[in-house]
């Protein structure tokens, strides 16, 4: 019986030691912009994002990394007298590929995401849509338990409600620089 317990413990420890999944914290800067809104000439705003992430590594350098983030996006007026700020909970799913080079792993990624706006967080200039989505492309490097990445994101739907027959007026474009700690 003791021998069976030792064998089972060794098996569990070996599987845990070779586990290919990690939880982590993710955060960074968001550089977002929007085209003309209500005759305002908008410029890039530097805001932030933070949240939790989970990475699962497959074979041949592929991995999937879903996250849940508080994402702040917006834009500044040219003279910075007014600004748009919108907060949302975003759920990006990063599909990554990169060779594991023992000490580090460079990778490229494609990231579809869906976001849920938080109406009380920020100062939207128009009535925001509740659900938005998009796709991002980027890359990064993973060193030990740290992951540094850069991504360009396109919102695929307008970031405001559109009345029947009305043309959508704007959608965010956002570049993110992120740092994740995986454990």
Contact indicator for 175, 155 with CB cutoff of 8 Å: no
3-state secondary structure of 158: coil
| Predicted local confidence at residue 114, as pLDDT | 93
Rounded CA gap, 147 and 156, in Å? Answer: 27
Rounded CA gap, 40 and 91, in Å? Answer: 30
Distances (CA, A) of 107 to 26, 84, 98, 111, 143: 17, 33, 4, 13, 11
Contact indicator for 175, 150 with CB cutoff of 8 Å: yes
| Predicted local confidence at residue 87, as pLDDT | 85
105-115 pLDDT tens trace: 999 999 999 98
Residue 12 pLDDT exceeds 50 = no
3-state DSSP of 1-45: CHHHHHHHHHHHHHHHHCCCEEEEEEEEEEEEECCCECCECEEEE
| Predicted local confidence at residue 4, as pLDDT | 52
Q: Considering the chain, what is the average pLDDT of its residues?
A: 81
Count CB neighbours of 69 within 10 A: 24
Contact indicator for 47, 74 with CB cutoff of 8 Å: yes
């Amino acid at each position: 019986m003791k021998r069976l317990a030792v064998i089972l413990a060794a098996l569990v420890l070996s599987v845990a030691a070779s586990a290919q999944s990690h939880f982590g914290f993710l955060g960074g800067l968001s550089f977002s912009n929007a085209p003309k809104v209500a005759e305002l000439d908008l410029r890039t705003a530097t805001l932030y994002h933070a949240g939790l992430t989970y990475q699962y590594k497959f074979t041949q350098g592929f991995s999937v990394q879903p996250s849940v983030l508080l994402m702040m996006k917006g834009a500044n007026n040219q003279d910075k007298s007014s600004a748009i700020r919108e907060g949302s909970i975003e759920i990006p799913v990063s599909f990554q590929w990169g060779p594991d080079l023992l000490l580090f792993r460079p990778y490229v990624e494609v990231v579809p995401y869906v976001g849920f706006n938080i109406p009380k967080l920020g100062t939207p200039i128009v009535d925001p849509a509740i659900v938005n989505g998009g796709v991002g492309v980027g890359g990064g490097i993973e060193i030990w338990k740290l992951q540094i990445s850069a991504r360009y994101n396109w919102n695929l739907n307008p970031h405001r409600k559109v009345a029947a027959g009305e043309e959508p007026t704007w959608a965010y474009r956002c570049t993110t620089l992120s740092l994740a700690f995986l454990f």
